[in-house]
């Protein structure tokens, strides 16, 4: 149930070994730390501008641009031709593919970002996986811890599936779009090419090729003097 191939095109990451065929897609989150421990090549192949901080356990491939104010603590693996903008904060155990945009005031922790993703403005991506060309609009938060701090579960229409994880944000499938200022609750899964409207709070599983529309009720009244 929930194999990676249903949500992610593994040809658009150099790290497909993280996703075993016989395990749910979120299993990869438990493997990132050990994967980087044994496979990370510590090398910076780009110019680091003044005002950027790069930790010791970091690989950055050719063509990637860093702006002043970037912080990469590591361990972290950054692919080719990415843009890391001012205020981008990359914590531990982060894998970024090729051609990604990581924007200002965005925080990343224990996550896998596939090629071509855009996470450009005021986003939090913790314990999550973003598929090929997935896009988080401004202010999207992938919440990774339940308020009661209990095990994160995946809720379908018919079942509640334990994950064994206390920290698990979301799986965002290839080409999925999450609208501005939306909050995706822990253990949520968004299918390929699906769209979540702005200002949405979502929890659960949204299948592929769907649009989740949020409608607000508004009232216009005369202002009192």
Q: Say if residue 123's pLDDT is above 90.
A: yes
State the pLDDT at residue 225: 81
Confidence band, pLDDT 50/70/90 cuts, at residue 186 = very high
Residue 87 contacts by C-beta under 8 Å, 6 or more apart in sequence?
69, 70, 103, 104, 105, 106
DSSP state of 151: -
List, for residues 197-209, the tens digit of each pLDDT value: 999 999 999 999 9
> 196: closest CA among 104, 100, 10, 207?
207
List, for residues 41-52, the tens digit of each pLDDT value: 999 999 999 999
The pair of structure tokens assigned to 138 is: 């401004």
Q: Say if residue 1's pLDDT is above 90.
A: no
List, for residues 24-41, the tens digit of each pLDDT value: 999 999 999 999 999 999
List, for residues 8-27, the tens digit of each pLDDT value: 999 999 999 999 999 999 99
Tokens 């592929």 correspond to what residue?
208
Q: Give the alpha-carbon dihedral of 40, 42, 44, 48, to 10 degrees.
A: 110
Task: Report the mean per-residue pLDDT for the chain.
Answer: 97
List, for residues 71-110, the tens digit of each pLDDT value: 999 999 999 999 999 999 999 999 999 999 999 999 999 9
Instruction: Please state whether beta strands 94-96 and 111-113 pair in parallel, antiparallel, or not at all (unpaired).
Output: parallel
């Amino acid at each position: 149930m929930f194999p990676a191939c249903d949500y992610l095109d593994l040809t658009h990451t150099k790290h497909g070994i993280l996703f075993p065929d016989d395990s749910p897609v979120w299993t990869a989150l438990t493997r990132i730390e050990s994967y980087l421990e044994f496979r990370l090549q510590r090398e910076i192949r780009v110019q680091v501008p003044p005002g950027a901080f790069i930790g010791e356990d970091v690989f950055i491939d050719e063509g990637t641009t860093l702006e002043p104010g970037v912080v990469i603590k590591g361990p972290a693996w950054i692919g080719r031709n990415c843009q890391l903008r001012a205020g981008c904060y990359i914590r531990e155990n982060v894998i970024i593919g090729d051609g990604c945009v990581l924007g200002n005031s965005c925080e990343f922790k224990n996550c896998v970002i596939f090629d071509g993703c855009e996470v450009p403005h005021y986003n939090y991506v913790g314990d999550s996986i973003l598929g090929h060309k997935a896009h988080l609009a401004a202010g999207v938060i992938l919440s990774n811890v339940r308020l009661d701090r209990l095990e994160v579960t995946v809720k379908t229409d018919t079942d509640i599936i334990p994950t064994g994880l206390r920290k698990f944000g979301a799986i965002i499938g290839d080409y999925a779009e999450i609208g501005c200022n939306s909050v995706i609750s822990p253990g949520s899964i968004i299918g390929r090419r699906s769209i979540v409207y702005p200002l949405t709070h979502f929890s659960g599983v949204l299948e592929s090729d769907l649009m989740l529309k949020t409608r607000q009720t508004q009232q216009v009244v005369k202002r009192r003097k």
